[in-house]
Each structure stands twice: as structure tokens, then as C-alpha cells.
Amino acid sequence: MRRAAVVPHGKAERLGDALARLERVAADAGVELVDADGEPDVAIVLGGDGTMLRALHAFLGTDVPVFGVNFGRVGFLTSVDESQLEDAAARVFAGEYRVAELATLRADVGGRSYPAINDAVATSGRLGRIIELGWDIGGEDLGAHRCDGVICASPSGSTAYNLSNGGPVLMWGLDAMAISFVAPHTLHARPLVVPRGLVLGVENRTDGVPVAVLADGHRIGELAPGERLEVGLGEQRTRLALLPEVTFFTRYHEVFP
């Protein structure tokens, strides 16, 4: 390994001397620390899940694996906590890691396509206003629900907003997406897992209320009444680097005790 990119937490004070610690390990290993444009062999994230998402987006479509050291609050996608920085970085620089390739989403709205690492969400564009969403899967009409919104999550995103909403947890490696309605006003809306090849269609059927569309928490569009969003599994996959002993279940039990 010759080069490693560093993606730090957005709040520099949260890192303390972490960058200096990483620089010392890199120097001992003969690894140059570069920015994202420096053709790195691996990316080292010093942050939580938000920073991990930023890095996974930055390196989506490349062969660069992303390894996380948790300096955030949850850090489900990271491998180790901050106290293990030196040992973990030395192992990564020595090539002692494995790569999990995880499915992503593609959200089509307003004539444009957007990638999503974790989730695509349709929610009320006006605070406190309920919306009515028509939905279909693979072109098959499944009716409509009055609700606060709908979440479509990838496996890596199934433990985020989807989990807190009562949606199903998808193990890393599954080529599927989870769909869960937010506060549906019905007894018939249940979370659903959909395989690759089937696309979720969501139509705004609310009079006078727009529907906001978000990808990984960022607003990417708005549905006026009668307009629709489509979400399916994307062609690209993220490359999550993990220490060999770190598995989905070790992270699951550590983060969600």
C-alpha cells in the first residue's frame, strides 16, 4: 500500500490529536496520506456514520475501500473506536482487512437520478401535515396510504432511519431494499423487503401539499400533487473495509445493546 486518503469528522475539535496519531502510523508504514483526489489505495475515516456516508459517496464507483474509526456517536459502519486507531491503522496499511461490497439505491425524481448509500425518503413538505402516498412495486398498483412518509433503505441503511421506524434489518450482502411507511394511518401497511429488479414507485396524492424527497438526509427534489418518485437498487456498490474479525453481528451487538 502506497497512499491512504483521510476523511475527517466535520468538527475538528472532536478529533483532538487523531490526525497526528494517524500520521505517525502512516510514516512508520511508509504510507503517504493524501486527499480524495490523490489516487489512494484506501480511505481512512475519522468520524461517525455521517462522515462514513460522505466518504462512501466520494468513492462510489471507484475501487477504493473505506475504513472507519469511530469518532462519532453511533458509528455502525465503522470498524473500531478511537482508542484502537493506531493498531487498526497499522493493520489496514499492512493489507490486513477485508472488503464488504454493499448494495446502494438509485432515486429518480424530477427527471434526474441520484445515488443513495443509506436511504431514499418521501415525507411531507409541510411540517405537521399528513400526506397520502400511492405506491406500486414493479408497476403493480398497491393502493395508497395516509402517512407521514415512506422510507426505502439499502442493507447498510436498514439500521438507520428504517430501524428506528420499526423496519426490517437487512444483513450486509443482501441484494435487496427495505420499504417501511412512517406512521401510517392503517392496519395494513407492513414493512416489505424487495429484491433487485423491482422498482418502488411513490406518487403524491395529497391535495395542496408537496412531498419532499431526500437521499441520505439531503433534499433532492419535491413532488407536486400527481408527481412520482421511483427507487430501485443501484448498479454501483459501496466498498466497506473491515478488520477480519469484524462482522455485521459484532457491530450490531456493539452498537445496539
pLDDT digits (tens, 9 = 90+) for 246-256: 999 999 999 98
Is a pLDDT exceeding 80 seen at residue 257? no
207 is catalytic: no
Q: pLDDT tens digit string along 229-247?
A: 999 999 999 999 999 999 9
Q: How many CB atoms lie under 10 A from the CB of residue 146? A: 16
Spatial neighbors of 10 by CB under 8 A, at least 6 apart, are 47, 50, 51
Q: Which of 49, 108, 119, 216 is catalytic?
A: 49
Torsions phi, psi of 94, nearest 5? -85, 0
Q: Give the integer Cα–Cα distance in Å for 229 and 53.
A: 22
Task: Give the predicted TM-score (pTM) of the model.
Answer: 0.93
Rg (the chain; Cα; Å): 20
pLDDT value at 174 more than 90:
yes
pLDDT in tens, 199-230: 999 999 999 999 999 999 999 999 999 999 99
- The mean pLDDT of the chain is 96
**Res 138: pLDDT:** 97
Of the candidate ranges 38-42, 115-119, 134-138, the one whose mean pLDDT is the lowest: 38-42
pLDDT in tens, 7-26: 999 888 889 899 999 999 99
Domains and their CATH numbers in the chain: 3-96 (3.40.50.10330), 104-235 (2.60.200.30)
* Residue 188 or residue 45, greater confidence: 45
> First vs last Cα of the chain: how many Å apart?
36
What span, in angstroms and rounded, lies between the C-alpha atoms of 8 and 47? 6
